[in-house]
Amino acid sequence: MSYHPNSLLRRARVAQGLLVVAFALLGGAFFRAQVLRNAEFVLKSESNRLREVPLPGARGIIYDRNGQIIAENLPGYSVSLLSPSADSLKSALRSLSQVVEIDSAQQALALRRFRAARTRPAVIFNDASFQVVSVLEERRAEFPGLIIQSAPKRYYPDGPAVAALVGYTGEISEADLSREKYATYKAGQLIGRGGLEQQYEKTLRAREGSRFVEVDARNRVVRDAGVRAEVQPEAPPPLRTTIDIDLQRYAHEYFGDSLRGAVVALEPQTGGVLALYSAPSYDINKFTGGIAPAFYKSLLEDPHRPMFNRALAGTYAPASTWKLATAVLGMEMGLVNIGTRMPQPCTGGYYYGRVFKCWDKKGHGDITLAQAIAKSCDVYFYQLGLRIGLTNLLAGGVRLGFGDSTGIDLPAERTPTWPRSTGYFDRRYGPRGWNRSVVLSLSIGQANNAQTPLSMAKFYTALATDGKAATPHIVARNPERKLIIDLSPEQLRDIQLALADVVSRGTAAGAQIQGLTIAGKTGTAQVNGQKDNAWFVGYAPADAPKIVVAIIIEEGLHGSVAAKVATKLMERYLKARLTMTAVTND
């Protein structure tokens, strides 16, 4: 068979064209790879060769009102491992556990951290001791994926004294990472848990830095310095509070290991929190770097509940401290004035379907409202409650703020219990399971009324001043003071004088402090199956209040016990304030 010359030429040209196209395609591919996508492939190469190591930053320092430190950061060490896979990490952890103690829980946690962020080193110790670091440094060559670096750790100089106030920090959980609130966080980072640490997380959080290490194909570190420029972490500005740490310490010392209860101290004119303490307490420094499971279990199982914040979430029958609310409502409605006497003198009890007893079995006789406040006469307030009426008493309690939380800038505040209408009793007891005698118990602060120490302190800031109260706060602000007690200045003054009589010659007479005029009200709350709780809420100086203190002592037996503690706190604060003023003037 023979081919025509033209046919051969045509085929040659086709082959030539195909070669040109092929070379053009190859050239284009090379140009695209080497020029157009050079940065992308360099980045991929860098990603395979380099590993980012986070540099944790120091959280914001928390100060008290006088510049003393409440929370700070100390030098610490973190230990982590780079690994190409979970199996490799398991193997490395087993080897490491032969050198330093790493229990099964820590190993499991490190694996979870790895799976949550495979490109980041899996943290083994957030707060490694110097001894552990020294041992690992000596044998670093045996663990090429090991990374040891400095990391600031949170420290609270007055740990147990500020636990209810500050909270603590802990590693972010997988559940937290799925929440929008923590969208910018990564596994292994720390967040605030409770208290100011949680409330002001955005303010206290540091900006994380980073450095890079060079690794081989098996993720072993081959160079850890000078690989790429480091990005230094940035610390946030400090958080300044209204707290008086000296007063906070004093409350902790006074309660010691034997008393259970809470203290709240406020500035009456601003609502600024001077102290907020719950007893028993615990050392929040134990949570730094991860709490030991055995210790955490002991806290949870402790029958005295040290992790329960009694100042914010403890709700108690306010007892006689609530009688001032009954008095205010009666005066607002024009039913009584400070000199009004009730139709039935106190003989130790009052009959209303059954006998409702007064705390003093001997009775108080025929007394005025001022005397009833000073002597805390139950029979007087039973009759005043009946005059006000159940519906008005319930509505008045709501208006005074007893059915709402205070709005303090701390998490986990519990809303007090106060019936907003008679429907509350229908739901709780059934439509026929109660009668209007409930008004007698409500009028003296017992039954169906449970308040927090914070809610009672807020109410007394209004009593101590001009009937207005500000939202309690710990971080300085200028909150609006709202009118909650609608009485004339003269009527308020009458109540304030009666409260001063409570301490000068009434139920809190044993708590007087020489040279200091104090006003307030004791309360002894009955608790089923337990000893009575002791209350005192008051302020000082009586004629120009600078501090309001609410205190409850569980099973404290009598309000006079709480009054003695409260007046000592007031004295401590006012003396320190006077000393500081003198030093400043000098």
At residue 271, what is the residue type? G
Please check whether residue 10 lies inside any domain of the structure.
Answer: no
Same domain, 220 and 302: no
Give the 3-state DSSP-derived string for 156-198, with helices as H, strands as E and coil as C.
CCCHHHHHHHHCEEEECCHHHHCCHHHCCCCCCCEEEECHHHH
Number of domains, the chain: 2
Same domain, 343 and 472: yes
Whole-angstrom distance, CA of residue 211 vs CA of residue 29: 35
Q: Which run of H or of E encompasses 297?
A: helix 293-301
At residue 156, what is the residue type? Y
Same domain, 363 and 496: yes
The two beta strands, 239-240 and 62-63, are parallel
Residues in the chain: 586
Whole-angstrom distance, CA of residue 344 vs CA of residue 365: 9
Write down the H helix ranges in 338-377: 369-375
Helix (H, G, I), strand (E, B) or coil at 441: helix
The two beta strands, 533-540 and 349-351, are unpaired
The two beta strands, 62-63 and 69-74, are antiparallel
Write down the H helix ranges in 336-422: 369-375, 378-388, 390-399
Please check whether residue 493 lies inside any domain of the structure.
Answer: yes
Helix (H, G, I), strand (E, B) or coil at 347: coil
Same domain, 376 and 446: yes
The two beta strands, 122-125 and 349-351, are unpaired
- CATH code where residue 231 lies: 3.90.1310.10
| Token output for 457 | 């302190």
Whole-angstrom distance, CA of residue 174 vs CA of residue 162: 28
Domain end among 240, 263, 295: 240
Same domain, 274 and 422: yes
Same domain, 234 and 285: no
Whole-angstrom distance, CA of residue 532 vs CA of residue 555: 5
Same domain, 158 and 188: yes
Same domain, 267 and 399: yes
Q: Per residue of the chain (586 residues), give pLDDT as tens.
A: 555 566 666 777 777 777 777 777 776 666 665 555 554 434 344 445 677 778 889 999 999 999 999 999 999 988 888 888 888 888 888 888 888 988 888 888 888 888 888 878 888 888 888 899 999 888 888 887 888 888 899 999 999 999 999 999 998 888 898 899 999 998 888 999 999 999 999 999 999 887 777 766 665 666 666 566 678 888 999 999 999 999 999 999 999 888 999 999 999 999 999 999 999 999 999 998 888 888 889 999 999 999 999 999 999 999 999 999 999 999 999 999 999 999 999 999 999 999 999 999 999 999 999 999 999 999 999 999 999 999 999 999 999 999 999 999 999 999 999 999 999 999 999 998 999 999 999 999 999 999 999 999 999 999 999 999 999 999 987 778 999 999 999 999 999 999 999 999 999 999 999 999 999 999 999 888 889 999 999 999 999 999 999 999 999 889 999 999 999 999 999 998 877 665 555 5
Whether the link from the prior residue into 303 is cis, omega within 30° of 0, is no
- CATH code where residue 398 lies: 3.40.710.10
At residue 233, what is the residue type? P
Same domain, 209 and 332: no
Burial 34-44 (b: 16+ CB within 10 A, else e): eeeeeeeeeee
Q: Which domain holds residue 119?
A: 51-240
Please check whether residue 281 lies inside any domain of the structure.
Answer: yes
Same domain, 325 and 431: yes
| Token output for 323 | 């009688």
Please check whether residue 438 lies inside any domain of the structure.
Answer: yes
Whole-angstrom distance, CA of residue 366 vs CA of residue 346: 6
Domain end among 206, 240, 274: 240
CA contacts within 13 A on the Cβ side of 207: 7
Whole-angstrom distance, CA of residue 134 vs CA of residue 8: 81
Q: Which residue in the block uniquely carries the two structure tokens 């990472």?
A: 177
Whole-angstrom distance, CA of residue 110 vs CA of residue 122: 6
Q: Which residues lie below 8 Å from residue 536, measured CB to CB, with a gap of 6+? A: 321, 508, 511, 520, 521, 522, 523, 549, 550, 551, 559, 562, 563, 565, 566
Please check whether residue 354 lies inside any domain of the structure.
Answer: yes
Please check whether residue 185 lies inside any domain of the structure.
Answer: yes
Please check whether residue 221 lies inside any domain of the structure.
Answer: yes
Same domain, 471 and 581: yes
- pLDDT at residue 44, rounded to an integer: 42
Please check whether residue 116 lies inside any domain of the structure.
Answer: yes
Q: Residues 235, 240, 241, 247: is their CA dihedral positive or negative?
A: positive
Whether the link from the prior residue into 541 is cis, omega within 30° of 0, is yes
Domain end among 214, 240, 266: 240
Phi-psi label, residue 370: left if phi above 0, alpha if psi -120 to 50, beta otherwise: alpha
Q: For residue 276, give Cα distances in angstroms to 209, 248, 266, 297, 474.
A: 35, 7, 9, 25, 10
The two beta strands, 349-351 and 355-357, are antiparallel
Q: Which residue in the block uniquely carries the two structure tokens 């809303």?
A: 415
Same domain, 287 and 381: yes
Whole-angstrom distance, CA of residue 517 vs CA of residue 29: 91
This prediction's pTM: 0.87
Whole-angstrom distance, CA of residue 106 vs CA of residue 61: 29
